[in-house]
Amino acid sequence: MHVPIKQYYGLLSKYLRPQRSQVLALSLLILAAIGLRLANPQILRTFIDTATESGPREVLLRLAALFFAIAVFTQGLSVAATYVGETVAWTATNALRLDLLEHTLQLDPTFHKDYTPGQLIERIDGDVATLSNFFSRFTIDVVGNGILVMGILGLLFREDWRIGLPILGFAVVTLVLLVWIRKLAVPHWTKYRALSAEFFGFLGEHIAGREDIRGNGAEEHVMRRFFGFVQSMFPVRLRSSLGGYGMWMANVGLFAFGHAVAFGVGASLWRSAMITIGTVYLVFHYTELLRGPISELRTQITDLQRAEAGIRRIRALLSTESCLANGGSASLPRGPLALAFEHVSFAYETARSEANGPPKESPRVTALHDVAFEVDPGSVLGLLGRTGSGKSTLARMLVRFYEPQQGVVRVGGRSVRDVQLCDLRRAVRKVPQEVQLFRATIRDNVRLFDPSITDAQVLQALAQLGLRDWVARLPLGLDTMLAGDGGGLSAGQAQLIALARAFLADPGLVILDEASSRLDPATELLLEHAVDRLLEGRTAIVIAHRLSTVERADQILILDDGRVVEFGAREDLLGNQDSRLRRLLRTGLAEVLA
Amino acid sequence: MRTCQALWRLVTYRPGLYSANVIAWIGILMAELAAGYVAKLFFDAITDASPAGLTVESIIALVVGVGIVRIVTILIGALTDIRHRYTMGSLLRHNLLNQVLALPGAQPLSCSTGEALNTLRDDVQVLEDTISWIVDQFAFAAYAAVALAILLTIDARITTVVVLPLLSVLVAGRLVSKHIRRFREASRRAAERVTGAIGEAMEGVETIQLAGAEQHIVEHIRVLNEERLHATVRDRLLTQSFHAFFWNAATLCTGLILLAAADGLSAGTFSVGDFALFVVYVGILAEFIAAFGDFMMHIRQAGVSIERMAVLAPENRQEAVVEHVPLAIRGPQPKVTLPQRSPGDRLSELRVENLSFQWPSQTTDEDAQRPSLTRISFTVCRGEFVVVTGRIGSGKSTLVRVLLGLLTKTGGRILWNGYPVDDPASFFVPPRSAYTPQVPQLFSDSLESNIRMGLPVSSDVLHRSIRAAVLEEDIPHLHDGLQTLVGAKGVKLSGGQRQRTAAARMFVREPELLVFDDLSSALDVETERHLWERVFERKDRTCIVVSHRRPALERADRIVLLREGIVLGVGRLSQLLETHQEMCDLWQGQAFRSGQRP
């Protein structure tokens, strides 16, 4: 199965249209080169005929000089074509990369759970790289080489139809056979690229997990998995590479046949004195010249096989739609927001379809069952429950990472479905459990590359969290580069940066997901002070694994296995001897005094 | 490490296969040489210049025959080349991964994971090409020798006139190629920054989505993309100009044949067949010289790639990137050896004496923020539960990492049963010790594989460790139980489940010494309580734990209290509470918050 020409055209026109004039320049450069290539053998023929008939020496010298001039000029053209072609290709593929990146960034977490960052790098950057040649040269070369082949055939017909016809037949058979072989090779390429993406995903993940591997002496295990990949990939690599060599072999065999035809025709016409020896040489040379464009077509087709596999995967990625609709057009007001869950139920989907993707698994069946509660604007809800009880799921529904299968989630009185996604994520800010830092300046890490946020705003947010002195002590201040893996910061500092990001957004609803874990008590006090500032005048959900975090909550909701087992004002629950909260507190008490 | 040395090591890895590859490719080019000679025979036959007196028909049969021979030689060459290339790629990736894993586990790589991946993908590819193209050079040399011999016997004067310029071009080309490396490096660096940034964006996708920062990240990468475009176009332009220079020379040589052969053709001493042969052979020779120019350029690029690979290996072990190791791309692989428990492994006492650690000075100014350690001493006896505590940045995690060799100590001694440990990194592994880091990493594989990590223990031991990690109740809730695929980095599990899976991974190794860094940070109260209970159940376990949690502090046989990389005190909780305000602060920090309870 091959990608229909329509899809090539779709990709081409979308990304090449903005560069119409460059593409035109490139076409002209290539056409000029074709003209020169057709002219060269004619000079050789004249030369041979003049020389064998003992023509004047100066004519021979002039012909040789012309040959030189054309050679020099052709090379100038090829350098210019490279410059224009590469610029066009990279401009187009860069645009495609960004489109893919943007699209991937908008896909929901269900998608991202299935792919390692390494796999996605391969799909956003690796697949597009194979397309680079496609954009710069493919269409123009295929068209250019087509014109060259037709030019050669035309010139041969001009000599004699008895020469033109057999060579035409040869050219047609050659092209048909090469296209047929191409079809055989594509599936192997696709498979190899998919395996290779998985392999690099494996490598990336294990490089990131070195500490765990070393600390538990599992290097041998990793190397054994490596060998597993090496062995399973070899047969696929062998087949996909043989596809390329198959083209070459076919090319060689077909040209042996082509030369046999050219020699046969040339010899018989020469013997009947219908053509000169120079023309016999011309036929031989033109047949040989066909090797160039047909060989280039073969290379282009090999690149096309890669590009085709790439295009298919790119299209698959682009057509993977977020499970979440884009939402409505409503926006949320500033200031604290009310929040309500109206009989919300949710179960993780077991599968989703995406072409060429790995089989999907959804191991967690944790779901929410008929969850209902309300939180007034400005008050703080403490969310409690065992790991896997559905707390994270509940929080994620507020930012529409998941959508309820039943019921409605309301923020500020509106169903979150009706709110524009970007507005929702401005107004509802979740501080995630694990802080992701970027290899960029502190400034960009805090403002997440948003150029509209000024240094003063960044510094103010950092000052709120007591990080201002720390920044002031750094020689480069906000310009200090952070390592991407967060190697430069302690876990506490990283979390403070995550809080600073939330400060800057000025949300009406804050969701704190265990934001104070992994900190020592002294730093935690500082952080709690900062959190108090953040929650001031905002509605908040605090996902607590520690009872101490619950102290700031006005209301408490306890989840167990996706169900609300207790919900009420904290004071009321504390007043009730039989409440779960009291029972938990007793456990906590035991924890403290044991 | 020098480029030539590295390449030689690689070439000599599978000498048999490599030689077979060289011979096969010489065969391919010899068959091509024959095809060119048949063209001469044809023109000689029709112009009656042929001494052999071959008929046109027999020459046409010869054309087809040579074609078939060429196909066969290409097939053989393809099989040897694909196999050898794959062997080279696998060997390099094996060695790189091995070296990366050999680095102290907690020492940051000299580049981001995305950049390291780039090296594993693209730089390995560059070397794979280089090694394969060395084969071509041998074959070209053979072709050139035979072709020159034939041309010289036909007409020595014309051969000299035509071939000398080719050689001078070769020399000129070498002079130009020096500049290529710089541009290549710039374009590689620009490419790395793009892949690095895309990788980070993918890892931080949740953060980006939560902040609605998608557009800003795209903008950020757009700038990096632009830089890459300029660097790459510059690189390609130079490469292409260089290439054009060679190809131009080839065509100019054809022009030289025209000039040199004019008189011979007129006088009949140089046949049209000879002319055809000269054009074909000199054309192919020039092509080879062009390819050789590319090859020389490529060797320089290979130099860049080798340097980038070497960066991933420890400084004194850079040649390990090209070392010879057993590697089968088909058939059985070397068996994994189970860690053997010897009597000396049994822990009776672990003593840390004056342990110091300093981040290397050449690293970035960010390192100034990372804690160092100064002369840390404490002792752990068999069956003891030792807690390392202190506030953030006091060096708790650094201490356990240095102890285990995940960071390389800069001073002091570690004594295991009184014997000094020379290389903590290779010593502190199962069955002597196992470790759970602060933020454990899981891998996209099944839950069971993540726990076992290749350890072939009985399912009894497996289930015992699952219970010890309080993971047994979660497993029935998972889709496929223990066989559930946990997704990239374990994302399909909750934070707490990930942490407990890592704990099970530590327990299943049944080590003499358990080391865990802040095990309970993502756990809820009840799960945490269970976990501590189960840790204390087995009295014979020796543990070093980084924690500030009360149950841990209270049960500790010994607390190592750290502040700014220095031991403030070692002792039981009650002692430290009396003698150290810092201990009180840490303890009160919790007491303060818990104390508000009614």
Identify the helix (H) or strand (E) that includes residue A302.
helix A277-319
Please check whether residues B479 and B426 belong to one and the same domain.
Answer: no
Please check whether residues A288 and A385 belong to one and the same domain.
Answer: no
Which residues in A lie closer than 8 A to residue B241 (C-beta atoms)? 79, 82
Please check whether residues A68 and A201 belong to one and the same domain.
Answer: yes
For residue A484, pLDDT over 70 is answered with: no
pLDDT, position B113: 80
CB contact under 8 A, B226 and A94: yes
Please check whether residues B427 and B464 belong to one and the same domain.
Answer: no
Domain that holds residue B350: 344-432+511-594
Proportion of chain A above pLDDT 90, given as a percent: 12
**Mean pLDDT for chain A overall:** 81
The three-class DSSP label of residue A419 is strand
Please check whether residues A277 and A384 belong to one and the same domain.
Answer: no
* Closest Cβ opposite residue A63 in set B233, B258, B366: B258
Please check whether residues B40 and B109 belong to one and the same domain.
Answer: yes
Please check whether residues B251 and B373 belong to one and the same domain.
Answer: no
Q: What is the DSSP string of B457-482?
A: --HHHHHHHHHHTT-TTTGGGBTTGG
Sheet holding A509-513, edge to edge: A428-431, A509-513, A539-543, A380-385, A555-560, A563-569
Helix ranges, A387-506 (H): 391-398, 421-427, 442-447, 455-464, 468-473, 491-505
Which residues in B lie closer than 8 A to residue A365 (C-beta atoms)? 477-479
Q: Is A213 exposed, middle or buried (0-12, 13-18, 19+ CB in 10 A)?
A: buried
Which of the four pLDDT bands, split at 50, 70 and 90, describes residue A589? very low
The span from the CA of A472 to the CA of A494, in Å, is 17
User: Best residue in B74, B238, B443, B479 to probe A by mutation, most A CBs within 10 Å?
Assistant: B443
pLDDT, position A155: 93
Q: What CATH number is attached to the domain comprising B585?
A: 3.40.50.300
CB contact under 8 A, A546 and B93: no
pLDDT, position A202: 92
Residue B483: what residue type?
Q
Please check whether residues B301 and B418 belong to one and the same domain.
Answer: no
Please check whether residues B537 and B503 belong to one and the same domain.
Answer: no
CB contact under 8 A, B211 and A71: no
Of A485-494, B225-234, B580-589, give the lowest mean pLDDT range: A485-494
Instruction: Kindly state the tokens that stand for A485.
Output: 């893996």
CB contact under 8 A, B68 and A256: yes
Does residue B501 lie in a domain region?
yes
Proportion of chain B above pLDDT 70, given as a percent: 91
For residue A193, pLDDT over 90 is answered with: no
Please check whether residues B399 and B293 belong to one and the same domain.
Answer: no
The span from the CA of B208 to the CA of B202, in Å, is 9
Identify the helix (H) or strand (E) that includes residue B514.
strand B513-517
Of A178, A248, A193, A186, give the one whose Cα is nearest residue B77.
A248
pLDDT, position A592: 30
Which of the four pLDDT bands, split at 50, 70 and 90, describes residue A109? confident
Does residue B577 lie in a domain region?
yes
**A126, A468, A506, B370 from A464: Cα distances, Å:** 42, 8, 13, 23
**Mean pLDDT for chain B overall:** 85
Closest Cα in chain B to A594: B551
Q: How many CB atoms lie within 10 A of CB B553?
A: 22
Of B212, B209, B202, give the one whose Cα is nearest residue A123.
B202
Please check whether residues A432 and A298 belong to one and the same domain.
Answer: no
For residue B37, pLDDT over 90 is answered with: yes
Q: What is the DSSP string of B280-298?
A: HHHHHHHHHHHHHHHHHHH
Name the domain count of chain B: 3
Q: What is the DSSP string of A227-295?
A: HHHHHHHHHHHHHHHHHHHHHHHHHHHHHHHHHHHHHHHHHHHHHTTSS-HHHHHHHHHHHHHHHHHHH
Does residue A67 lie in a domain region?
yes
**Do β-strands A563-569 and A555-560 pair in parallel, antiparallel, or remain unpaired?**
antiparallel
Does residue B334 lie in a domain region?
no
Please check whether residues B428 and B446 belong to one and the same domain.
Answer: no
Please check whether residues A113 and A23 belong to one and the same domain.
Answer: yes
Does residue A293 lie in a domain region?
yes
Does residue B580 lie in a domain region?
yes
Residue range A395-445, pLDDT digits in tens: 888 888 888 888 899 988 888 888 888 788 888 888 877 788 888 888 888
Please check whether residues A310 and A384 belong to one and the same domain.
Answer: no
Considering B459, B487, B510, which residue would you say is the last residue of a domain?
Answer: B510
Chain B contact for A569, CB < 8 A? no
pLDDT, position A1: 41
Please check whether residues B388 and B483 belong to one and the same domain.
Answer: no
Of B30-44, B452-466, B480-494, give the lowest mean pLDDT range: B480-494
pLDDT, position B248: 62
For B390-453, list the strands marked E by DSSP. 411-416, 419-420, 433-436
pLDDT, position A292: 73
Instruction: State the complex-level ipTM.
Output: 0.85
CB contact under 8 A, A116 and B484: no
pLDDT, position B28: 95
Please check whether residues B506 and B521 belong to one and the same domain.
Answer: no
Considering A269, A297, A317, which residue would you say is the last residue of a domain?
Answer: A317
CA dihedral A403, A405, A407, A412 (to 10 degrees): 10
**Taking a C-beta distance cutoff of 8 angstroms, is the pair B559, B576 a contact?**
yes
The span from the CA of B319 to the CA of B1, in Å, is 6
Does residue B568 lie in a domain region?
yes
Name the domain count of chain A: 2
- Enter the DSSP assignment of A524: H
Residue range B141-175, pLDDT digits in tens: 999 999 999 999 999 998 998 888 777 776 776 66
Does residue B336 lie in a domain region?
no
Which residues in A lie closer than 8 A to residue B198 (C-beta atoms)? 97, 101, 120-121, 124-125
Residue range A354-379, pLDDT digits in tens: 433 343 344 445 578 889 999 999 89
Please check whether residues A226 and A110 belong to one and the same domain.
Answer: yes
Chain B contact for A253, CB < 8 A? yes
Which is more confidently placed, A146 or B78? B78
Does residue A7 lie in a domain region?
no
Q: What CATH number is attached to the domain comprising B143?
A: 1.20.1560.10
Does residue A18 lie in a domain region?
yes
Q: Is A207 exposed, middle or buried (0-12, 13-18, 19+ CB in 10 A)?
A: buried
The span from the CA of A85 to the CA of A405, in Å, is 51
Arithmetic mean of pLDDT, B61-73: 95
Residue range B432-451, pLDDT digits in tens: 999 998 888 899 889 999 99
Please check whether residues A174 and A273 belong to one and the same domain.
Answer: yes
Residue range A212-248, pLDDT digits in tens: 999 888 888 898 899 999 999 999 999 999 988 888 8
Considering B483, B510, B537, which residue would you say is the last residue of a domain?
Answer: B510
Which is more confidently placed, A492 or B326? B326
**Taking a C-beta distance cutoff of 8 angstroms, is the pair A447, A504 a contact?**
yes
Of B491, B483, B438, give the one whose Cα is nearest residue B462.
B483
For residue A593, pLDDT over 80 is answered with: no
Does residue B337 lie in a domain region?
no
Q: What CATH number is attached to the domain comprising A129?
A: 1.20.1560.10
Arithmetic mean of pLDDT, B317-340: 77
Domain that holds residue A501: 380-389+422-437+489-593
Q: How many alpha carbons fall within 13 Å on the CB side of residue B373?
A: 28
pLDDT, position A325: 61
Which range of A123-137, A520-534, B492-506 scores highest in mean pLDDT? It is: B492-506
Which of the four pLDDT bands, split at 50, 70 and 90, describes residue A305? low
pLDDT, position B597: 31
Considering A269, A287, A317, which residue would you say is the last residue of a domain?
Answer: A317
Does residue B369 lie in a domain region?
yes
Of A410-414, A518-522, B135-139, B514-518, give the lowest mean pLDDT range: A518-522
Considering A317, A334, A356, which residue would you say is the last residue of a domain?
Answer: A317
pLDDT, position B78: 95
pLDDT, position A55: 81
For residue B561, pLDDT over 60 is answered with: yes
Which pTM does this prediction carry? Answer: 0.72
Residue range B373-409, pLDDT digits in tens: 999 999 999 999 999 998 877 888 899 999 999 999 9
Does residue A122 lie in a domain region?
yes
For residue A227, what are the β-bridge partners?
A: none
Which of the four pLDDT bands, split at 50, 70 and 90, describes residue B596? very low
Of A40-49, A411-420, A454-463, B487-496, give the lowest mean pLDDT range: B487-496
Please check whether residues A49 and A128 belong to one and the same domain.
Answer: yes
Please check whether residues B459 and B472 belong to one and the same domain.
Answer: yes
Closest Cα in chain B to A398: B210
Considering B510, B525, B552, which residue would you say is the last residue of a domain?
Answer: B510
Closest Cα in chain A to B334: A224
Does residue A209 lie in a domain region?
yes
* Closest Cβ opposite residue A426 in set B212, B216, B394: B212
Please check whether residues B505 and B515 belong to one and the same domain.
Answer: no
Sheet holding B411-416, edge to edge: B373-381, B349-357, B411-416, B419-420
pLDDT, position A4: 56
- Chain A, chain B: beta-carbon pairs less than 8 Å apart: 568
The span from the CA of A62 to the CA of A64, in Å, is 5
**Residue B181 distance to chain A (closest CA, Å):** 19
Q: What CATH number is attached to the domain comprising A519?
A: 3.40.50.300
